[in-house]
Structure 1
Amino acid sequence: MSSEEPPRPGEDGRVGLAAAEPLPAPAEPNAQNKDDDSESVGTVVVAGLANLVIAAAKLVAGLLSGSAAMLSEAAHSIADTVTEVFLYVALRRGNKPADEEHPFGYGKESFVWAFIAALFTFIGGAGFSIYHGVTTIIKGEDSGEYWLSYVVLAVAFVAEGTSFLRARRQVAGESARWGVSQLRFLRVTSDTTVKAVYFEDSAALIGVLLAAAGLGLAQVTGSEVWDGVASIAIGALLLVVAGILAHSNISLLVGRAVPRRMHRQIADELAGLDVVTAVPTLLTMQLGPGDVLVAAKVDFDDEITGADVEQASDEAERRLRGIYPSIRYVFLDPTRGTAGRNHRDGGADV
């Protein structure tokens, strides 16, 4: 017989990943998280369908008119459509449950797909728009029938506006729930899908206006240079959006901490436990959209028992998840510290 002792299960007999499951959080926040996931999927699907229809209309108008701005807008919408597909995959793949091979879940995979989506916008949309704009300025291609382009742009503006309003409504609701401005929510959120849709729809509306301005100036002045300039401007706009989204996803992939305000509140809650003397080290990481890991070195009162430490650890998890349901795991490491010296100044400065 082997002399190696089997792992010792907890009181409920569970070992491994099953024993690491967090304590139950309040039912209402969990239900809210599921609603958020459904709303994000709906936002991505609506945006994808709108972009697909708009891309086809812009492409036809661009080919018939020969307008560089219209073809750039078609490339813009095609890039957005493919991006929505990547974002949909990000939502589905990122929501896979944890297993022994990926004990912290697959949340970071959503950041990978969102980063790929940003790269596609950078290469597919911006690259084509800038190239075609430069070509139009050099060759002076005729924009053809203007009225068809105007009609398509008007329809596109309405469709993109509808998608944008849905994304804006979701951002407004979630920012109000967290008690922050919409701009700050977009900066700190780990929900890369709604952030991507919001920025891409905003860029799409601005792109439509740029294309219309370029066509209008080309028609009034008789110079196709304006059409090319509009195409380059659309490409530059896509470069900015792709850069913002890529930077955000890279930060999350590397392992970004929670925002500083949330970090301080977590530190204060841990330090506020009766048996805790200090929290000298507090580390946090975004595991995925809506999933946070908390790890801390905690100085417990020297007079308490091991059972008291276990009870305090459970209480800490309940408290933290009661305030922030997105906290998935809480790991506390008993360590020596100095009374009153708490790690409150960590977190992401976003």
Structure 2
Amino acid sequence: MSEAEVKTESVGTVVVAGAANLAIAVAKLVAGLISGSAAMLSEAAHSVADTTTEVLLYLALRRGARPADRRHPFGYGKEAYVWAFLAALFTFVAGAGFAITHGVTTILVHEHTGDYLASYVVLAVSFAIESISLARAVRQVRNESRRWRTTPQRFLRHTADTTVKAVFLEDSAALIGLLLAGVGLGLSQLTGDELYDGIASILIGVLLLVVAAVLAKSNISLLVGRAVPERIHQEIERELTGLPTVDRIDTLMTMQLGPEDILVAAKVDFHDDATGEAIEAAADEAERRLTTRFPEVAYVFLDPTSSMPGADGRRARRTQDEAERPVDQPTGGAAPS
């Protein structure tokens, strides 16, 4: 799957999820107003939050894909994480805040729930639609995990494409929220006590809090400048070390510039007898190898340098702050380790 195909599939996944959430939000709102159910109204707020989130994620994909220019020589990839972070905040404030406060109010006031049938019908239809949206997200996760030769679980944990992660988590949370709402409604109908409806609403809010926190943390890490995962780092190091004129790699640093853009910078110790022409050829070959192996590598900068005193190990140094860091500690990044 090419980079362009990945971006097109991500846009399609977001659009499908947004359209589904919009239709579901209207249906839930109508059912919630008819029944007076706190859980149904919370689910309506949940779907409204998800719809707004999809709009923001669509902006993230479009604005983050703009090409580099004079003022932004590395492109606009990181802007995608700004919009994705705002989407997580909206889920936190609008969706979770409304669900929890409305649930608490229902428990305290014990307002009577009206027509249950309308709520059950909407929940069933919403579950079917959300399942279709989630199925598309799962298909993309599996396709991209195969592209990176890793498992779907590791891909979701480390991917820099936070739009795919957001759609997957939100659709999964939506299905769980629908089940919680259904259980809350059923228990309230059986017992005649609105306590269960209110508890279901609070649990839906807590679920949204968890999703928002996970997405916010991931986007903040990428905004700060996250490196690629350890496995990718090691493969890049092997490609550079395998160049004919390279003696060793003293320092190797990587950074995610966007969902599909990686920067590679390295201090390289070339052989003492390497000529300037040979070093230039090696730099060209390094870029060719890395972009062939990892099409997401957009920039490669090599700095010829002599070996550091006492640097006789095989592994490339990263930064001074990471000198004592365990080698197998995950770093996150564009692709799963």
Where in structure 2 are the equivalents of 1:69-218 lying within 5 Å? 69-218=39-188
Hey, what does 2:20 align to over in structure 1?
50
Does residue 349 of the first structure (1) align with residue 331 of the second (2)? yes
Hey, what does 2:198 align to over in structure 1?
228
Hey, what does 1:14 align to over in structure 2?
none
> CA distance change for structure 1 residues 346 and 212 in 2, over 3 Å: closer, same or farther?
closer
Aligned residue type for 1:243: A
Count of residue pairs brought into register by the alignment: 320
Structure 1 residue 192, shift from structure 2 partner: 0.8
Where in structure 2 are the equivalents of 1:25-64 lying within 5 Å? 32-64=2-34
What are the ranges of 5 or more consecutive residues in structure 1 without an aligned counterpart? 1-28
Aligned-partner Cα distance in 1 for 2:25–2:127: 12
Deviations 1:60-112 (A, max 9, x none): 11011100000000000000000000000000000000001000000000000
Aligned-partner Cα distance in 2 for 1:295–1:341: 18
Hey, what does 1:331 align to over in structure 2?
301
TM-score, scaled to structure 2: 0.93
Task: Give 3-state SS (helix, strand or coil) of 1:137's partner.
Answer: helix
Aligned-partner Cα distance in 1 for 2:330–2:290: 18
Hey, what does 2:221 align to over in structure 1?
251
Does residue 296 of the first structure (1) align with residue 262 of the second (2)? no
Structure 1 residue 57, shift from structure 2 partner: 0.3
Tell me if the contact between 2:227 and 2:331 (Cα under 8 Å) persists in the aligned partners: no
Runs of 4+ in 1 over 2 A off after TM superposition: 338-342, 344-350
Does residue 286 of the first structure (1) align with residue 259 of the second (2)? no
What are the ranges of 5 or more consecutive residues in structure 2 without an aligned counterpart? 318-326, 333-337
Deviations 1:209-264 (A, max 9, x none): 00000000000111000000000000000000000000000000000000000001
Does residue 321 of the first structure (1) align with residue 298 of the second (2)? no
Task: Give 3-state SS (helix, strand or coil) of 2:226's partner.
Answer: coil
Structure 1 residue 341, shift from structure 2 partner: 3.5
Aligned residue type for 2:194: E
Task: Give 3-state SS (helix, strand or coil) of 1:107's partner.
Answer: coil
Structure 1 residue 290, shift from structure 2 partner: 1.1
Structure 1 residue 342, shift from structure 2 partner: 2.9
Report percent identity of matched pairs: 65
